[in-house]
Structure 1
Amino acid sequence: MPRTFVWHPGKGPKTTPRPLPPTLGQLRIKQVRSAIGHPEAMRRTLQAIGLRHHQQEVIKPDTPSLRGQLKQVRHLVEVTPVEE
């Protein structure tokens, strides 16, 4: 979804990547940014997904509940579908 309001123009990306279309497969989730300095709720969401460390990857089945968790921490993770 495109960002429509930016406090500091020139800080951060102009757009965020489009969410993946719903699949019945699995997703590879990689933590690309640290949880340090973010709210406790985001840190707990990362732990619930199974990410404990920076640059760690996990593979999870694609479910609506996982999609909701990923939406909360989309700026901290990178999501790609797993090719079977």
Structure 2
Amino acid sequence: MANGKKLQVTLRRSPNGRLKNHRQCVAGLGLRRMHQTVTVDDTPQIRGMIRKVSYMLEVQEA
């Protein structure tokens, strides 16, 4: 998985009013505001964070 692969993650729904650990996952991915896109490494840890808050995100392979 981590062979130099990248993922583009976009925040599509607001983290306001969500569980604290879900907001922390969004922040851990480097997302600060709505419709912001970040590029992250494709690791099992990042995949777990994405899976936890997948209902708020849009993910594409880069």
TM-score normalised by L of structure 1: 0.68
Structure (1/2) with the larger helix percentage: 2
The size of the alignment, in residue pairs, is 61
Question: Alpha carbon RMSD of aligned pairs, Å?
Answer: 1.2
What fraction of aligned residue pairs are identical, expressed as a percent?
30
Structure (1/2) with the larger strand percentage: 2
Gaps of 5+ in 2: none
- Specify the structure having the higher radius of gyration (Cα): 1
Among 32, 36, 41, the residue aligned to 1:61: 41
TM-score normalised by L of structure 2: 0.91
Among 28, 44, 59, the residue aligned to 1:48: 28
Q: Once superposed, which parts of structure 1, at least 4 consecutive aligned residues long, lie more than 2 Å away?
A: none
